[in-house]
C-alpha cells in the first residue's frame, strides 16, 4: 500500500501539562496516522492547544462557545489536501479518560477524523454520511492497530 506524501507542521501551544501531550504525539506517529487517512497528497498543520484557544476558535468560527476536541479548517481538497487541524488538549484528555482509552489512541482517532473532514467527509449532513465516515475511521484505525473507537458507544 503506497501512502500519499505529507507535508506536516506539528505545533504545541504552551500550557500546563503539554509534556504529556507531546509524548503521546511523536511526529513520526502523527505523520503515519494522517498519511493513512489521506487519499491524496496533503499539507497539514496540526496544532495542539489549551482550552482557552480551543474555545475561542470554536466560538469565532463555528459560533459554539465551548472548547471542542478537534476543529478542521480545510482550504483545498484537490489536487493537494490543505488544512489546519486544531486539537484541544484538555478536551482530548478528558474524553480519553471518560472513555477508558489511552490518550495516544484517542489522538489517533481524532486526527484521522479531522483528516477525513479535510477531504470533504461530513458526519453532520445525514445519518448515512455519519455511518460512512465512522466506517472509514474504523477501517483506517484498524490498519494502524487501534481498536474501534465506537465499540463502547451505547446506541
Which residues participate in the annotated binding site?
113, 117, 123
Phi first, then psi, for residue 32 (nearest 5°) are -65, -45
Using the structure block, give the residue that is written with the C-alpha cell 474504523.
Answer: 138
Strand partners, 148: none
The total of other beta-carbon atoms located within 10 Å of residue 44's CB is 27
Contact 149, 123 (CB under 8 A): no
Vertex 66, ends 62 and 69: CA angle to 5°? 85
Can you read off the three cell numbers belonging to residue 144?
494502524
**Residues annotated within a binding site for Zn(2+):** 113, 117, 123
CA dist., res. 36 & res. 99, Å (int): 24
Determine the 3-state secondary structure of 81 from DSSP: strand
Amino acid at each position: 500500500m503506497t501512502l500519499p506524501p505529507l507535508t506536516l507542521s506539528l505545533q504545541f501551544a504552551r500550557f500546563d501539562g503539554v509534556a504529556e501531550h507531546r509524548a503521546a504525539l511523536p511526529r513520526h506517529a502523527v505523520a503515519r496516522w494522517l498519511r493513512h487517512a489521506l487519499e491524496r497528497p496533503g499539507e497539514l498543520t496540526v496544532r495542539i492547544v489549551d482550552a482557552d484557544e480551543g474555545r475561542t476558535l470554536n466560538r469565532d468560527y463555528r459560533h459554539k462557545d465551548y472548547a471542542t476536541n478537534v476543529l478542521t479548517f480545510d482550504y483545498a481538497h484537490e489536487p493537494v489536501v490543505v488544512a489546519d487541524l486544531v486539537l484541544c488538549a484538555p478536551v482530548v484528555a478528558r474524553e480519553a479518560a471518560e472513555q477508558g482509552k489511552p490518550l495516544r489512541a484517542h489522538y489517533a482517532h481524532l486526527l484521522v477524523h479531522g483528516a477525513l473532514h479535510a477531504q470533504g467527509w461530513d458526519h453532520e449532513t445525514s445519518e448515512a454520511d455519519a455511518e460512512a465516515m465512522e466506517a472509514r475511521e474504523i477501517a483506517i484505525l484498524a490498519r494502524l492497530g487501534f481498536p474501534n473507537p465506537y465499540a463502547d458507544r451505547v446506541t
